Amino acid sequence: MNTKLLKSIVTSTAALAMGATAFGAGYALFESSASGNADAAGLTTKGGDPSAMFFNPAAISDLEGTQVSIGTSFLFTHFGIEGNNGQQIMEKEADDRLFLLPHMYVTHKLTDDIQLGLGVFERFGLGLTMDDDFFGRYNNLEVDIMTVTVAPTISYQILDNLSIGASFNVQALDVSKKQYLSPLYGAGDNVTQEVKGDISLGIGGSVGIKWDPVDWLHLGASYVTRVKHDIDGDVNIDGIQPFTFKTRGHAEITTPDEITVAGTIDVTEKLTVGGTVTYTSWSVFDELAIKCDNYPLAQGMPYEVKSVMNWKDTVRFSVGGSYKFNDNWVFRASYTYDDSPLNKSTFDYLVPAHDRHIFAFGLGWTRDVWTIDFSYFFELVPSTDVPGDPNPLHGVFPGKYQTGNANCFGITVTRRF
């Protein structure tokens, strides 16, 4: 496949998923599929369907023939923000949003030992929309960061109980951000700055291993590389003149590394329990800096619009399992604690999240060559204090993120050939 065709496929996929950003600790997404939404540990260690390549490229080694999985997750979010300007307590709820997180996976058993695969999914994204009268509009009004990953995958079964795998990841990233500029800049009231990035392509990969040391114990581990994006885009300043001032800008965003380790135990022939630990190197997100070719508030000179982030690395914990009623039905459930990477000394209104508690359930039905998986999870985000920024230009008030929540419904259909 030539580079031009590959770029066209990735860009088209990104355009179809423009609404596919989400709400969580940082901006990592784990909504891989309906089965993965409810039991990530099982997919990482035992596989079972093509979406296992999202967590561990080695976990597709046991699949037979050719299999295709297509589906989506529907994520509904709700949260509010509170601020204190020294005179009054201000409250504002973000616009409730529906995010669509589609996915597609294909696997093909090339030989007894070699399995090929292709995944199209979203590993990172965030979204926030506030009304124009939001008290934090000088910091952030709207933001969307969206990625789509196309991942050719190969798995090799070294021994009957040991497999390795790797993916070559082509990641498309689209970013946009809008805010009001503080009158303290001297630009006057009601001046907006909107950044719209061109779709950027970055290259990364993942490797994994799956090992069954004994019949009842299953282990899996994977590493996903960071991906660097060099982004060019438009910066529009509206309201400073009778017309919109336009310039070009450049920014760099690096998505973090992820290391996942999982284990499951077959308690009985029907019941499997296990857990997953995922480490994410969010410290790569130290700042969001947009370098403008020229800028009206800097007398037409090159200028840098910078937000200091200083995020911290995080660990995500998940426990759960599955129960197989019979050859047709399987039930899945899990609990996940997802740590927030936000640094309280640099809190802002970019990411609507704190530590998360996720309670997930799933049901799978199989008949002949078809499998349909359903999932639901409830995500609780407890309130957390926002210390505020002493620099009035940044527009962050002391206050708190109020308790938020999300509801997610997933469906995946798998066909075996």
Q: Which residues of 339-363 are buried (b: 16+ CB within 10 A; e: fewer)?
A: bbbbbeebbbbbbbbbebebebbbb
Question: Minimal CA–CA distance to 76: which of 37, 127, 40?
Answer: 127
| pLDDT value, residue 379 | 92
10-residue mean pLDDT profile of the chain (417 residues): values are: 40 37 66 94 94 96 96 89 86 80 96 96 85 85 88 96 97 89 72 87 96 96 95 84 76 92 96 96 86 69 71 93 96 94 79 82 96 95 82 81 89 97
| pLDDT value, residue 350 | 75
- Tell me if 3 sits within 8 A of 57, measured CB to CB: no
- Tell me if 416 sits within 8 A of 105, measured CB to CB: no
| pLDDT value, residue 397 | 85
Domain residue spans of the chain? 3-416
Homologous superfamily in CATH for domain 3-416: Outer membrane protein transport protein (OMPP1/FadL/TodX) (2.40.160.60)
| pLDDT value, residue 46 | 93
pTM attached to this predicted model:
0.88
- One-letter amino acid at 272 equals T
